[in-house]
Amino acid sequence: MTHGMVSAAQPEAAEAGADVLRAGGNVVDAGIAAALVQTAVDPQMCGIAGMGNMQILLPGRGIHTTLDFHGRSPLAVRPEMWENRIIREADDGWGFILEGRVNEFGYQAITSPRTLAAFDTALTRFGTRSLAELLPAAIDYARSGCLVRPHVAQWWNQPPTNGRPANIDVVLGLPAARKIYGKPGGGALGVGDTLVNPDMARTLERIAAHGAADFYQGGIAREIVADMAANGGLLTMADLADCGPEENAPLWGTYRGLGIATNHPPGGGVMLIEMLNILENFDLRAMGHNSPEYIRVVSEAMKIATADKDAKVGDPRFFPVPMAELTSKEYAAAQAERIRRHEKAHVARFNSGGAESKHTTHVCVMDEAGNAFTMTHTLGQPSGVVTEGLGFMYNGAMSVFDPRPGRAGSLAPGKARFSALSPTIVFKDGAPFLTLGSPGATYITMGNLQVMLNVIEFGMTAEQAVGAPRFAAVSDTIEISNRILRAAERDLLAQGYPVKRVAHSYTFAWVHAIRCVNGVLDGGADPATGGLVVGV
C-alpha dist (Å) from residue 277 to 43, 203, 263, 274: 36, 46, 16, 5
Give the dihedral sign, CA 113/115/118/123.
Answer: negative
The catalytic site residues sit at 360
Please provide the DSSP assignment of 127-177 as one string.
-SS-HHHHSHHHHHHHHH-EE--HHHHHHHTPPPBTTBPPHHHHHHSSHHH
Peptide bond into 292 cis (omega under 30): no
CA distance 20 to 355: 38
Q: How confident is the model at residue 441 (pLDDT cuts 50, 70, 90)?
A: confident
CA distance 217 to 205: 16
User: Which range among 140-144, 349-353, 373-377, 479-483 shows the weakest confidence by mean pLDDT?
Assistant: 349-353
Can you give the pLDDT at residue 497?
98
Question: What is the tens place of the pLDDT at every residue in 386-398?
Answer: 999 999 999 999 9
CA distance 382 to 394: 6
User: Residues of the chain with pLDDT > 90: what percent?
Assistant: 87
pLDDT of 263 higher than 50 = yes
How many CB atoms sit inside 10 A of residue 268's CB? Answer: 29
Can you give the pLDDT at residue 355?
39
pLDDT of 313 higher than 90 = yes
Can you give the pLDDT at residue 93?
55
C-alpha dist (Å) from residue 345 to 89, 185, 294, 475: 19, 51, 16, 9
C-alpha dist (Å) from residue 105 to 85, 101, 102, 359: 14, 6, 6, 13
pLDDT, average across residues 217-245: 97
What global pTM score does this model have? 0.95
pLDDT of 348 higher than 90 = no
Q: How confident is the model at residue 500 (pLDDT cuts 50, 70, 90)?
A: very high
Can you give the pLDDT at residue 90?
65
Q: How confident is the model at residue 351 (pLDDT cuts 50, 70, 90)?
A: very low
Can you give the pLDDT at residue 352?
35
pLDDT of 451 higher than 80 = yes
The sheet with strand 520-525 has its strands ordered as 251-255, 258-262, 424-428, 431-437, 512-517, 520-525
CA distance 241 to 262: 28
Nearest to 294 by CA among 457, 420, 465, 474: 457
Question: What is the tens place of the pLDDT at every residue in 34-52?
Answer: 999 999 999 999 999 999 9
Q: How confident is the model at residue 61 (pLDDT cuts 50, 70, 90)?
A: very high
The more confident residue out of 440 and 521 is 521
How many CB atoms sit inside 10 A of residue 229's CB? Answer: 13
- Report whether 258 contacts 95 (CB < 8 A): no
pLDDT of 456 higher than 60 = yes
In whole numbers, what is the pLDDT of the chain averaged over residues? 94
Q: What is the DSSP letter of 402?
A: B
pLDDT of 437 higher than 50 = yes
For each of the domains in the chain, give its residue range(s) and CATH number, in order of start. 247-354+421-535 (3.60.20.40)
CA distance 422 to 417: 14
How many CB atoms sit inside 10 A of residue 33's CB? Answer: 34
Q: How many helices (H) and strands (E) does the chain have?
A: 20, 22
Can you give the pLDDT at residue 158?
82
pLDDT of 109 higher than 90 = yes
Can you give the pLDDT at residue 96?
82
User: Which range among 60-69, 159-168, 345-354, 448-457 shows the weakest confidence by mean pLDDT?
Assistant: 345-354
Nearest to 266 by CA among 420, 441, 474: 420
Helices (H), 258-328: 269-279, 284-287, 292-312, 323-326
3 state DSSP class of 325: helix
Can you give the pLDDT at residue 177?
97
